[in-house]
Amino acid sequence: MEKKSRKQYLLDILKLFGIFFKIGLFSFGGGYAMLSLIEAELVKKQKWITHDELSDIFAIAESTPGPIAINTATYIGVKRCGIFGGIAATIGVVIPSLVVIIALSYVIELVKDNVWAGYFFKSIRVAVLVLIAKAVFTFFKDMRKNLLSYVLMIASFLLVLLTNVRVIYIILATIVIACVAARLKQIYDKKVLHSVGTPEYYNERIGRTLEKDEYVRENTVYPHDLNDKSGDLQNSINILSPIAPTKSDEGGEEK
């Protein structure tokens, strides 16, 4: 968190409250539906966080206990303005839902048999589905695309769709697999880094060309051969260059 003046600090806290109040008021469908609103307000408009940071924040909020909307608001608020920023953002995102659900608890009983009320709630479901689809697309766009990512994504989707495995276990399993894969990649990269500059490295990368082509093999200079090559080059220069005048010759010329 950046150091700010007292006035700027209070203004940022009020702004956090206002932004998350608006997000909480219009984010029908829960935490995933609010992702597009958070992106529009905090990433594009305020530029407080980046797309990558938002993806990381959502992953953390999903894997910790509690509603994802509250966890996200608290995390961003603390990141921006410390503990009081977290409190302001959390209160801001909760108040609209609290007020609306209290009001609806009385209204729904009165209009539950009304045809137009049924159409209204069905239309909300469609809008929520669109918002969640947009959130999925945003996550996919920012995702690091490799074989492991696709395998984990498809496996997680099938487990959620076809089994009764709890989501938290799937999340923990993907975290463990991703950490193990990252560690193995570090070990592999370190091994490759140490092998760079050796004939074995070039044989592997160039497709065994150095073993098959005699001309290439004889005229390829490896990093560990540079000292020998530079010595041969210096000898060639000494042979081809004119004989340097001796001190006695220089003295004779001066005379």
Is residue 31 within 8 A of residue 69, CB to CB? The reply is yes
- pLDDT tens digits for range 61-93: 777 777 888 888 899 999 888 899 999 999 998
CB atoms inside a 10 Å sphere around CB 83? 11
d(CA 44, CA 252): 82
The pLDDT of residue 45 is above 80: yes
Band the pLDDT of 254: cuts 50, 70, 90: very low
Is residue 86 within 8 A of residue 74, CB to CB? The reply is yes
The pLDDT of residue 17 is above 90: yes
Which residue ranges make up each domain of the chain? 6-143, 199-241
CB atoms inside a 10 Å sphere around CB 30? 14
CB neighbours of 58 closer than 8 A, spacing ≥ 6? 31, 35, 68, 72, 139
Sign of the CA dihedral running 163, 70, 16, 103: positive
Is residue 37 within 8 A of residue 26, CB to CB? The reply is yes
> Please, is 9 exposed, middle or buried when counting C-beta atoms within 10 Å of its C-beta (0-12, 13-18, 19+)?
middle
- pLDDT tens digits for range 196-218: 555 555 555 555 554 555 555 55
With a pLDDT cut of 70, the percent of the chain lying above it is: 69
- pLDDT tens digits for range 94-120: 998 888 888 877 777 777 777 787 777
- C-alpha torsion 61→65→69→71, nearest 10: -60
Q: Please tell me the pTM assigned to this model.
A: 0.53
